[in-house]
Amino acid sequence: MNSPKQKRSLSIHAHRTSIALEQEFWAVIDRAVARDGRSLAAFITALDDKRTQSDSPHGLAAYLRLFALAFVQQSHGEYSPAGQA
């Protein structure tokens, strides 16, 4: 898997930012957003709040990749570390 990164721009707490992820991760995040019913910005803001409150050592892009992995694992009934999805 060597796909180019796709950038998306959004606001997190009124701060404009861009996030670059491989399209495979965006596809998983889009599924999670559709299931959740919030906008992409609201969904990622909630994940970012969770990341900062838990003092995660990961930046937002890495945290989103870990979230996507946990989301796929949970949808397939596989083990997922607590707090990742």
Domains of the chain as residue ranges with CATH:
5-75 (1.10.3990.20)
Instruction: Tell me the one-letter amino acid at 46.
Output: A
Q: Which residues contact 55 (CB under 8 A, 6 or more apart)?
A: none
d(CA 74, CA 80): 6
Position 85 confidence tier, pLDDT thresholds 50, 70, 90: very low
Position 50 confidence tier, pLDDT thresholds 50, 70, 90: very high
Position 81 confidence tier, pLDDT thresholds 50, 70, 90: low
d(CA 54, CA 58): 10
Closest CA to 50 of 5, 20, 85: 85
The pTM of the full predicted model, rounded to 2 decimals, is: 0.85
d(CA 85, CA 10): 21
